[in-house]
Amino acid sequence: MVQRGDTAMNFSLKDHHDTMFGICDFRPHGTVAMKYRIFRNENGFSEWANIIVDEKQRVVFVKVYPVHSVPDIGEIIAFLGK
């Protein structure tokens, strides 16, 4: 699984003009999740996770949540506010 300090895997974030954006991993199915090693092959979907990548494409925050839970957006807002 992706860990803090890893770099973005096999795709570039440099083409995006915004400093913050989300990646929705619908097509091709699971490609980004597989690259971050959070795809659940046995279920056919990814882990419920928040991964923050900085401007140098380093992973600076990772949290995987239980599948049937709702992630706490407050954690992300607090982290980004640092």
**Could you read off the pLDDT of 29-79 as tens digits, one per residue?**
888 888 888 899 899 888 888 888 888 888 899 899 998 888 888 898 899
CATH of the domain at 50: 3.40.30.10
For residue 40, what are the domain limits? Answer: 1-82
pLDDT of residue 13: 46
Q: Model-level pTM?
A: 0.66
Give the confidence band of 1 by pLDDT, cuts at 50, 70, 90: low
| Number of domains, the chain | 1
Which helix (H) or strand (E) is 18 found in, with range? none
Tokens of residue 19, six digits:
């400093």
Query: Hey, which bits of the chain come out as E strands?
Result: 39-40, 45-46, 48-53, 59-65
Q: What are phi and psi of 4, to 5 degrees?
A: -55, 135
